[in-house]
Amino acid sequence: MNAKSTIKKLISLSLLVIVLFTACGSDKNRIPFSKLTFETSYEDMVSKLGDPTDTTTTYLGDTYGYSCKYLQKDGTVRYTFDEDGNMASITWLYESEDGEEVSDLYADIHKELVNKHGKTKEATNDVTQLSDIWRLDTGNITLVAVVSSDYNGLMYTYLSKDHSTSEENAN
Burial environment of residue 37 by CB neighbours within 10 A (0 to 12, 13 to 18, 19 or more): middle
State the pLDDT at residue 18.
33
User: What is the rounded CA–CA span in Å between residue 102 and residue 128?
Assistant: 11
pLDDT bucket at 28, cuts 50 / 70 / 90: low
The answer on pLDDT for 15 being more than 80 is: no
Confidence of residue 171 (pLDDT cuts 50, 70, 90): low
Burial class (CB in 10 A: 0-12, 13-18, 19+), 94: buried
Confidence of residue 2 (pLDDT cuts 50, 70, 90): low
Segment 102-122, tens digit of pLDDT: 999 999 999 999 999 999 888
**Dist CA 151 CA 98 (whole Å):** 9
pTM passes above 0.85 = no
Sorted by where each begins, the domain ranges of the chain are 1-30, 34-170
pLDDT confidence bin for 132, thresholds 50/70/90: very high
Helix (H), strand (E) counts: the chain: 4, 8
| HSE, side-chain direction, 13 A CA sphere, residue 95 | 6
